[in-house]
Amino acid sequence: MNPFRWSYRALSLAGFVLCVALLGYALYAEHVLGMIPCPLCIFQRIAFMVMAVFFLLGGLHAPTGGARWIYTGGALLGALGGIATAGRHLWLQTLPADQIPACGPNLGYMMDTFPFAKVLKLVFTGSGECAKIEPVFGLPMPAWTLLWYLLLAFAAIVAATRKRA
């Protein structure tokens, strides 16, 4: 059961299952543990969803040769977006209390009111709720997501270099 020997299909489907499990935990943390997601948390969930779609498509199709990099590229784009978002989120959490931006409107209101480019600017500028630290197993949630984005990106690259479909 060495994952470094798994086929492209098996690694892609494992990546899909991990993304779905991580999204399931995010929903559990929200609805059972009462951890309200900030806009950056929601964008991190979207990045996992993008990765899950490309892992699933790659696992179902299991192309050979250079066509694998299409699915791998999509998964890596999701991972890079997630890494950037989680990194920004962690940076906001390290700011001193006097430098934390004021809390802004929630993401639903911003999406209804502003154009998408302005929503992105407002979200990545940050707000007070994004600086709130709620540790999970000793680390803030964005640290865990950053770790998973890196691991899943590595798995996508390993899968694309497999000889077996």
Instruction: Report how many domains make up the chain.
Output: 1
- Report the percentage of the chain scoring pLDDT > 70: 85
Structural domain contains residue 136: yes
In this prediction, residues 30-53 reach a mean pLDDT of 91
| CATH at 40 | 1.20.1550.10
Indicate the pLDDT class of residue 102, thresholds 50, 70 and 90.
low
Ordered DSSP codes for 63-95: --GGGHHHHHHHHHHHHHHHHHHHHHHHHHHHS
In this prediction, residues 56-79 reach a mean pLDDT of 92
In this prediction, residues 64-77 reach a mean pLDDT of 91
Structural domain contains residue 165: no
- Res 76: pLDDT: 97
101 has a pLDDT exceeding 80: no
Summary mean pLDDT of the chain:
86
Q: Which candidate, 162, 122, 165, places its Cα nearest to that of 5?
A: 162
Boundaries of domain holding 39: 3-160
Structural domain contains residue 35: yes
Reduce the DSSP state of residue 139 to 3 states and report it: strand
Ordered DSSP codes for 13-71: HHHHHHHHHHHHHHHHHHHTS--PPPHHHHHHHHHHHHHHHHHHHHHHH---GGGHHHH
Taking the model in full, what pTM does it have?
A: 0.84
26 has a pLDDT exceeding 80: yes
